[in-house]
């Protein structure tokens, strides 16, 4: 912290002059970039629609309240599908992610080349959103729950696999050494030395991802991959806002409950 | 780390197939040479050298014979190679060159399956206990038998009743008979080390490799643990190599002391022969008279070139 | 010791759940659920057989990415995605700071806390794509709807983590500032902000990554960005172009992730 001498007085400042200048410059450049980007967006926006937006919104809300309670009866089946997409998709993803993570973790991989392949699988799966997976899978498998399950599963491999292999790399190596010293086979070393140490995080991460997948599975229906998203799409297309609000309410409650379940299971595991 | 890369292909490809075959029936090139003639030492180490990939030389041409039933203490400053020596014997650390024989079986030449069979005869006790924290006391003890059962037996915890009986007996013997189902992380340090001892003995070993068993314990517990190890070794006629910082403790409990300094043996004799000169040779210049406490490892001038893997 | 060891004493590992009723109930319930769930999956073998052909086309298309025939669309889509991400992250973080402070129980009175937490919960519940649809209906197709969506998502994410971070700060430092007779604002700027600022920067960068990734998706429902280009190419069966777009998205996401994790590591 520089202290400047001004005549006989000492003036204290947080930054000296160049630092202050640089800091201002940084902010200025940042602001300019944001403004420039905003300009591009503004150019690509049809402002007459935007001017109309408040009216549209109030219209939507007015027609959406109260929700169409009777519509609830047709929602049970899609809701069940949504739940299944999330659960089966998570199970699928985790089942693939666990062996992949053991191949990707530095301390359990059989060979560096295998490790890079496993890492590639994880990165590739992480980089593609489940909706994009769904978009492609619907083309191949046709619309339906199956495409949704696979889309959610494919996306989950990367997410859970990354957290799994980080957990594997962080374990305490001493018990592993001790188990190996008893003459245990490689599989036994994994099951006694590694598994008890990583099991809590594997369960925790899986439940966490299940909770995220509930949310994701509400939208894969938008591209035809099953679940409540199909109803949402249909209701929006015909502008039935009371149905839309009913669906949103159901989604809100489902997500709320799943988050609560996931949080309490994770608390139990610690 | 010293633990070998676990040969995971085995896990993914052959667990299902091989998992059902108990280790006993797997083909091995070696029969077991258990007929111990009194003349041949239990353990023989010949010109053992270990150089770490970093270039640090941890052991340099070490020669050592350990007869049947002997308790041998290995002392020396940190970084002298004590830990490396012990881990070279069961090959948690791969020796760079030299031979190690256990009952005339050349350990240094074994392939991985044979090495696993040989490891069953060498039990190890660790400084930080190295228990699997989330497993129960009993599961930790039973893990000493992993080399004798197949994968699915160990996965479903279906150990032979004889093994379970022996495990209960050992738990009683080390004074933990009342908590077989307590989780290991709920125990005190001394109790954990007792579990570690029970696990080692359940292996039914010929030799105990003991790595700093007392370094994480208070003085009283440390003595109790040392006494327990020596008693049990005597009951069963085991050889023991214990690597220990605490010189008085080493003198009290061992029959022979080997001093290691910078990867070489500089003292090998009875505990009574550890004169001031011998200590100076092992640890370097220090006023040994007042009270020989376990400060040896703190003399910075000597904290060697540190090739040793500290556990 | 009351218990003497008898040979033949049985041992089995303790069960994770003590109560046998709950244990077996959960197990059987889980199995029943799994069976029901698997039965509800409608597999149409005829459709899949037909789809396999198209799957083959997709695969062929994907090993031969075509970056050039739709080059202009791809470039403008990518730029739009980036631009949306920059603006949305900036606005989102600016809004998140007050809401994050308001969501920290150790700084504000209960009513403020509850309101802020409600905002956070609302923003986190709905998948971005649902929000995007609503914004598209209100604002029309285009990047503005995308920006609003990403802002909405960023606010929930950044404020929640910021609030949690503020709740974990060292209370002693805040007390020390309070003890000097500082006002609430002064306490905030001297006692709280220095402690959470690095974390806030880290969070913003992390959210930048997420926003970029999301911007590739919300385009599918019309909210601008590269997602729109991707959707079009898939609908036109131009799988070579779709492949190129996906590869570019992956590369872009990985590049920003590398940069942001490097910066975050330096901040710590």
| pLDDT tens profile C122-178 | 888 888 888 898 888 888 888 888 899 999 999 999 999 988 888 888 778 778 887
* A39-94 per-position pLDDT tens digit: 888 887 777 777 888 888 888 888 888 888 888 888 899 999 999 999 999 999 99
Q: Taking CA atoms, what residue in B is nearest to A191?
A: B155
CA distance C217 to C231: 9
CA distance B141 to chain C (A): 12
pLDDT score for C73: 85
The residue of C7, C10, C11, C12 whose CB has the most chain B CBs within 10 angstroms, and thus the best one to mutate to test that interface, is C11
Residue A217 CA to chain centroid, in angstroms?
11
* Chain-chain contact of C41 with A219 (C-beta, under 8 angstroms): no
Write the residue in C41, C52, C230 that is nearest to A140 by C-beta.
C52
What pLDDT is stored for residue B22 in this prediction? 47
**Mean pLDDT for each 10-residue chunk of chain B (311 residues)?**
44 47 43 43 89 88 90 89 91 92 89 90 91 91 92 90 91 89 89 94 93 88 92 91 90 91 90 86 74 46 40 37
For residue A98, the enclosing domain spans 72-269
Say what the pLDDT of residue A206 is.
93
Which pLDDT does position B197 carry in this prediction?
A: 94
Q: How many domains in chain A?
A: 2
pLDDT computed for residue C268 by the predictor = 65
Average pLDDT over residues C247-252: 86
Nearest by CB to C48, which of A37, A142, A223? A142
Determine, for residues A256 and C125 on separate chains, whether the beta-carbon distance falls below 8 Å: yes
Give the minimum alpha-carbon distance from A141 to chain C in angstroms, rounded to a whole number.
5
Q: Does the CB of A192 have a partner CB in chain B at under 8 Å?
A: yes
Q: Which residue of C has its CA nearest to A257?
A: C125
Task: Report yes or no on C31 lying in a domain.
Answer: no
Cβ burial C47-74 (10 Å sphere, 16+ → b, else e): bbeebeebbeebeebbeebbeeebeebb
Radius of gyration of chain B measured on its C-alpha atoms: 20
Q: Which residues contact C164 (CB under 8 A, 6 or more apart)?
A: none
ipTM for the complex shown: 0.80
Q: Is residue C46 part of a domain?
A: no
Last residue of a domain, one of A64, A81, A102: A64
Tens of pLDDT, residues B238-270: 999 999 988 889 999 999 999 998 889 999 989
Rounded Cα distance, B260 and B59, in Å: 9
pLDDT at A61: 86
Q: Write the burial class of residue A200 (CB in 10 Å: 0-12 exposed, 13-18 middle, 19+ buried).
A: middle
Q: Are residues A19 and A96 in the same domain?
A: no
For residue C262, being part of any structural domain is answered with yes
Nearest-angstrom CA–CA distance, A221 and A242: 19
Residues in B closer than 8 angstroms to A107, CB to CB, are: 1, 3, 5
* SS3 (DSSP) at B259: strand
Q: Give the pLDDT of residue B198.
A: 94
- For B7, which of A110, A175, A183 is closest by C-beta distance? A110
Per-position DSSP letters for B77-136, written without gaps between them: -TTSSHHHHHHHHTTSS--SEEEEEETTEEGGG--HHHHHHHHTTEEEE-TT----TTSB
Interface of C with A in 106-135 (CB under 8 A): 121, 125-127, 129-130, 133-134
> Average pLDDT for residues C6-12, to the nearest whole number?
73
Share of chain B above pLDDT 70, in %: 79
Q: Residue C225 is part of a domain; what is its CATH number?
A: 1.10.3720.10
Domain co-membership, A17 together with A127: no
Considering CB atoms only, which of A136, A146, A255 is closest to C43?
A146
pLDDT of residue A55: 84
Q: Residue B59: beta bridge partners?
A: B50
Question: Does C24 reside within a domain?
Answer: no
Strands of the B207-211 sheet, one edge to the other: B122-125, B207-211, B239-243, B71-75, B256-261, B264-269
Contact: B199, A182; criterion CB under 8 Å: yes
- The fraction of chain B above a pLDDT of 90, given in percent, is 41
Tokens 């602001």 -> residue: A31
H or E segment to which residue B73 belongs: strand B71-75
Return the pLDDT at A128: 83
Residue of C5, C13, C14 lying closest to B177 (CB–CB): C5
Query: Residues 63..82 of A with a Cβ closer than 8 Å to C: which?
Result: 80-81
CATH for A91: 1.10.3720.10
Instruction: State residue B45 phi and psi, 5-degree precision.
Output: -115, 130
The tally of CA atoms less than 13 A away on the side-chain side of residue C105 is 4
Q: How many CA atoms lie within 13 A of C202 on its CB side?
A: 15
Return the H-helix or E-strand segment holding C128: helix C128-139
Tell me which residue in B8, B11, B130 faces A178 most closely, judged by beta carbons.
B130
Percent of chain C residues topping a pLDDT of 70: 97
> Do the strands B71-75 and B239-243 form a parallel or antiparallel pair, or are they unpaired?
parallel
Do A60 and A83 have their domain in common? no
Predicted confidence at residue A2, as pLDDT, reads 58
Q: Can you give the pLDDT at residue C195? A: 80
Q: How many domains, in total, are found in chain C?
A: 1
Same domain, residue pair A113 and A188:
yes
Report the residue of C17, C26, C34, C41 to disrupt the A interface, i.e. the one with the largest count of A CBs within 10 Å.
C41
Q: Distance from CA of residue B249 to its chain's centroid?
A: 17
* CB distance B221 to B189 below 8 Å: yes
Minimal Cβ distance to C5: which of B138, B169, B181: B169
Instruction: Give CA–CA dist B57/B79, Å, rounded.
Output: 10
- The answer to whether B6 contacts A190, with C-beta atoms less than 8 Å apart, is yes
pLDDT of residue A150: 93
Q: Residue A230: which of A148, A139, A153 has the closest Cα?
A: A148
Residues A31 and A136 reside in one and the same domain: no
Subunits close to A (at least 3 CB pairs below 8 A): B, C
A158 and A30 in a common domain: no
Q: Looking at the partner chain, which of C43, C130, C138 has a beta carbon nearest the beta carbon of A53?
A: C138
- Tens-level pLDDT at each residue, chain A (270 residues): 556 566 666 666 666 778 888 888 888 988 888 888 888 888 877 777 778 888 888 888 888 888 888 888 888 999 999 999 999 999 999 999 999 999 999 999 999 999 999 999 998 888 788 888 898 888 888 888 999 999 999 999 999 999 999 999 999 999 999 999 999 999 999 999 999 999 989 998 999 999 999 989 998 988 888 889 888 888 988 888 889 999 989 998 998 899 888 888 888 776
Dist. CA C212–CA C83, nearest whole Å: 9
Select the residue of B8, B209, B311 nearest A186 (Cβ to Cβ).
B8
Given pLDDT bands bounded at 50, 70 and 90, which one contains residue C6? low
Can you give the pLDDT at residue B223?
92
Instruction: Give the neighbours of chain B: at least 3 Cβ pairs within 8 Å.
Output: A, C
Cα-to-chain-centroid distance, residue B42: 15
Cα A154 to Cα A162: distance, rounded to the nearest angstrom: 13
Query: CB A182 to CB B144 under 8 A?
Result: yes
Collect all residues of chain B within an 8 Å Cβ-Cβ radius of residue A183.
23, 116-120, 146-147, 203
Do A7 and A107 share a domain, yes or no? Answer: no
Residue range B4-61, pLDDT digits in tens: 444 444 444 444 444 455 444 444 433 333 444 444 678 999 999 999 888 888 899 9
What's the number of CA atoms in the CB half-sphere (13 Å) around residue C34? 10
C15 contact B CB<8A: no
R_g over Cα of chain A? 26
What's the mean pLDDT in C199-216?
86
Helix H or strand E segment including C124: helix C110-125
CA dihedral A75, A76, A77, A82 (to 10 degrees): 90
- Domain of C171 in residue numbering reads as 76-267
For every residue of chain A, DSSP letters joined together read --EEEETTEEEE-SS-HHHHHHHHHHHHHHHHHHHHHHHHHHHTS-HHHHHHHHHHHHHHHHHHSS--GGGGGGGHHHHHHHHHHHHHHHHHHHHHHHHHHHHHSTTT-S-HHHHHHHHHHHHHHHHS-HHHHHHHHHHHH-SSHHHHHHHHHHHHHHHHHHHHHHHHHTS-HHHHHHHHHTT--HHHIIIIIIHHHHHHHHHHHHHHHHHHHHHHHTTGGGGTSSSTHHHHHHHHHTT-HHHHHHHHHHHHHHHHHHHHHHHHHHHHH-
Q: β-pairing, B105-106 with B57-66?
A: unpaired
Interface test with B, best of A110, A115, A183 (most B CBs within 10 A): A183
Residue with the two structure tokens 């359940």: B202
Per-residue pLDDT, A60:
82
In a domain, C27, yes or no: no
> How many CB atoms neighbour CB A39 within 10 A?
12
Q: Residues A56, A82: one domain?
A: no
The answer to whether residues A34 and A102 belong to one domain is no
Residue of C nearest to A50 (CA): C139
CB of B211 closer than 8 Å to CB of B126: yes
Residue pair B19/B43 in contact by the 8 Å Cβ criterion: no
Judge if A54 and A14 occupy the same domain: yes
**Where is the domain boundary, A45, A64, A83?**
A64
Q: How far apart are CA A219 and CA A148, in angstroms?
A: 10
Phi, psi of B240 (to 5 degrees): -135, 130
The Cβ of residue C265 has, within 10 Å, a number of other Cβ atoms equal to 9
pLDDT of residue C177: 81
pLDDT greater than 60 at residue C257: yes
Tokens in use for C177?
Answer: 């500032």
Cβ contacts below 8 Å, chain A against chain B, sum to 127
List of chain B residues whose C-beta atoms are within 8 Å of the C-beta of residue A176: 1, 3
Which of A184, A194, A204 is the best mutation test for B, with the most CBs of B within 10 A?
A: A184
- Closest CA–CA distance from residue C5 to any residue of chain B (Å): 7
Q: Tell me how close the Cα of B223 comes to any Cα of chain A, in angstroms.
A: 23
Given CB atoms, is B92 within the 8 Å cutoff of chain A? yes
């Amino acid at each position: 912290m520089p202290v400047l001498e001004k005549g006989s007085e000492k003036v204290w400042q947080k930054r000296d002059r160049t630092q202050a200048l640089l800091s201002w410059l940084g902010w200025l450049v940042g602001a300019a970039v944001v403004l420039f980007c905003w300009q591009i967006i503004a150019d690509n926006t049809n402002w007459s629609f935007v001017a109309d937006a408040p009216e549209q919104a109030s219209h939507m809300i007015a027609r959406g309240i109260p929700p169409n309670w009777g519509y609830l009866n047709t929602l049970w089946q899609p809701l069940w599908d949504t739940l299944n997409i999330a659960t089966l998709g998570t199970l699928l993803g985790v089942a693939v992610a666990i062996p992949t993570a053991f191949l990707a973790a530095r301390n359990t991989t059989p060979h560096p080349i295998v490790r890079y392949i496993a890492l590639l699988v994880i990165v590739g799966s992480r980089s593609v959103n489940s909706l994009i997976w769904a978009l492609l899978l619907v083309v191949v498998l046709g619309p339906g729950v199956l495409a949704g399950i696979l889309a959610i599963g494919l996306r989950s491999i990367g997410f859970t696999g990354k957290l799994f292999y980080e957990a594997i790399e962080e374990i305490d190596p001493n018990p592993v050494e001790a188990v190996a010293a008893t003459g245990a086979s490689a599989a036994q070393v994994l099951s006694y030395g590694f598994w008890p140490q990583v099991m809590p995080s594997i369960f925790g991460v899986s439940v966490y991802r299940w909770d995220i997948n509930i949310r994701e599975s509400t939208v894969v229906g938008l591209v035809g991959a099953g679940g409540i998203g199909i109803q949402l799409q249909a209701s929006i297309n015909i502008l039935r806002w009371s149905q839309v609000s009913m669906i949103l309410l159901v989604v809100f409650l489902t997500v709320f409950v799943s988050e609560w379940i996931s949080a309490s299971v994770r608390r139990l595991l610690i | 780390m010293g633990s070998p890369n676990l040969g995971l292909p085995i896990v993914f490809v052959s667990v299902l197939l091989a998992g059902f075959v108990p280790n006993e029936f797997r083909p091995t090139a070696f029969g077991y040479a258990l007929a111990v003639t009194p003349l041949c030492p239990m353990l023989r180490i010949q010109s053992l050298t270990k150089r770490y990939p970093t270039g640090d030389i941890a052991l340099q041409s070490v020669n050592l014979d350990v007869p049947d039933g002997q308790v041998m203490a290995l002392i020396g400053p940190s970084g002298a190679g004590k830990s490396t020596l012990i881990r070279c014997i069961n090959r948690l650390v791969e020796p760079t060159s030299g031979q190690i024989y256990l009952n005339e079986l050349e350990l240094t030449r074994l392939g991985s399956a044979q090495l696993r069979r040989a490891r069953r005869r060498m039990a190890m006790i660790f400084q930080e206990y190295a228990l699997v924290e989330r497993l129960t006391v009993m599961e930790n003890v039973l893990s000493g038998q992993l080399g004798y059962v197949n994968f699915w037996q160990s996965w479903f915890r279906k150990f032979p009743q004889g093994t379970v009986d022996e495990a209960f007996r050992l738990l009683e013997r080390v004074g933990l008979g009342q908590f077989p189902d307590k989780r290991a992380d709920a125990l005190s340090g001394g109790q954990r080390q007792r579990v570690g001892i029970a696990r080692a003995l359940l292996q039914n070993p010929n030799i105990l490799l003991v790595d700093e068993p007392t370094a994480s314990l208070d003085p009283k517990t440390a003595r109790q643990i040392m006494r327990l190890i020596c008693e049990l070794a005597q009951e069963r006629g085991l050889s023991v190599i214990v690597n220990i910082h605490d010189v008085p403790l080493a003198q009290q409990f061992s029959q022979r002391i080997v001093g290691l300094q910078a990867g070489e043996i500089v003292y090998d004799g009875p505990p009574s022969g550890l004169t001031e000169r011998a200590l100076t040779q092992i640890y370097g210049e220090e006023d040994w008279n007042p009270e020989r406490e376990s400060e040896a490892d703190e003399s910075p001038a000597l904290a060697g070139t540190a090739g040793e893997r500290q556990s | 010791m009351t218990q003497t060891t008898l040979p033949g004493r049985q041992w089995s590992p303790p069960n994770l759940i003590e109560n046998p009723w709950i244990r077996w109930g959960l197990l059987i319930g889980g199995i029943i659920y799994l069976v029901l769930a698997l039965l509800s999956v409608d597999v149409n073998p005829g459709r899949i057989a037909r789809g396999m052909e198209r799957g083959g086309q997709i695969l062929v298309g994907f090993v031969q990415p075509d970056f050039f025939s739709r080059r202009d669309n791809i470039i403008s889509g990518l730029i739009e995605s980036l631009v949306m991400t920059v603006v949305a992250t900036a606005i989102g973080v600016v809004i998140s700071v007050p809401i994050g402070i308001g969501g920290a129980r150790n700084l504000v009175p209960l009513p403020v806390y509850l309101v802020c937490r409600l905002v956070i919960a609302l923003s986190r519940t709905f998948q971005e794509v649902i929000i995007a649809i609503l914004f598209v209906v209100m604002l029309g197709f285009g990047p503005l709807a995308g920006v609003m969506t990403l802002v909405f998502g960023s606010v929930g994410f950044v404020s929640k983590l910021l609030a949690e971070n503020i709740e974990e700060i060292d209370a002693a430092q805040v007390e020390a500032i309070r003890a000097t007779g500082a006002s609430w604002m002064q306490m905030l700027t001297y006692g709280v902000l220095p402690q959470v600022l690095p974390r806030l920067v880290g969070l913003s960068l992390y959210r930048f990554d997420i926003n970029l990734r999301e911007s590739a998706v919300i385009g599918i429902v019309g909210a601008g960005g590269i997602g729109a280009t991707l959707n079009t190419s898939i609908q036109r069966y131009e799988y070579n172009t779709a492949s190129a777009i996906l590869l570019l998205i992956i590369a872009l996401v990985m590049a920003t992730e590398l940069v942001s994790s490097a910066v975050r590591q330096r901040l710590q």
